[in-house]
Amino acid sequence: MTKQPKKSMRELLKDPKNVAAHLKFKAIADAHDEKVAEGAKFFDPVALMARANEVHEVRHPQLGIIRFGELMLSDSEIVSKCKTKDDRSAMAVYLMLKKAYPEMADYTPDTIGGFYRAFPMVEGTSLLQFFLSQPCFLGEKSSNGSNQTQAPTS
């Protein structure tokens, strides 16, 4: 039996079995990279600002279709002028609804209590629970005010 000469690295890389294996693993890696890229989230301020003016529609099991707009940074200035937590929540809900229903009466931080008192309890509670579950709703600060946390959902 004669000893075969060793193949060089270049010859091994050109071997059809190795070329096929390389192409197979490259296809797997490319598919994985593509899947990761599809799931990647990129911060796009232009898209965010365009979305901020959209009216969203969500079907609620009790209330039906809820139409609302997202809160914007400028809305936080208005909400922060409200004196109580209830008024701040009512103002946030009001501002989100007002974007979808511009014909609603106008309320200010000083008069938002009228909106809060006029809303029927069953629907108002369901509406507030719905908005609290939305990522675009106001978060609540921790007791020391250092961290932003998502408002609890029920």
29-85 pLDDT tens trace: 888 888 877 777 788 888 888 888 899 999 999 999 999 998 888 999 999 999 999
How far apart are alpha carbons 148 and 142 in whole angstroms? Answer: 7
Q: Helix (H, G, I), strand (E, B), or coil: what is residue 127? A: helix
pLDDT given for residue 145 in this prediction:
41
pLDDT given for residue 2 in this prediction:
67
Could you tell me which residue, 133 or 79, shows the higher pLDDT?
79
How far apart are alpha carbons 121 and 20 in whole angstroms? Answer: 68
How far apart are alpha carbons 42 and 33 in whole angstroms? Answer: 16
pLDDT given for residue 113 in this prediction:
92
pLDDT given for residue 153 in this prediction:
41
Question: For 102-124, how does the pLDDT look when each residue is reduced to its tens digit (9 = 90+)?
Answer: 999 999 999 999 998 888 888 88
Closest CA to 107 of 89, 90, 128: 90
Residues in a beta bridge with 69: 55
Could you tell me which residue, 141 or 68, shows the higher pLDDT?
68
- Say whether pLDDT at 142 is over 70: no
Only one residue has tokens 């914007």, namely 72
Q: Where are the alpha helices (DSSP H) in 1-154?
A: 9-14, 16-39, 45-51, 73-80, 85-100, 112-118, 121-132
Closest CA to 67 of 100, 39, 112: 100
pLDDT given for residue 37 in this prediction:
77
What confidence category does residue 154 fall into, taking pLDDT thresholds of 50, 70 and 90? Answer: very low
Only one residue has tokens 């059809």, namely 16
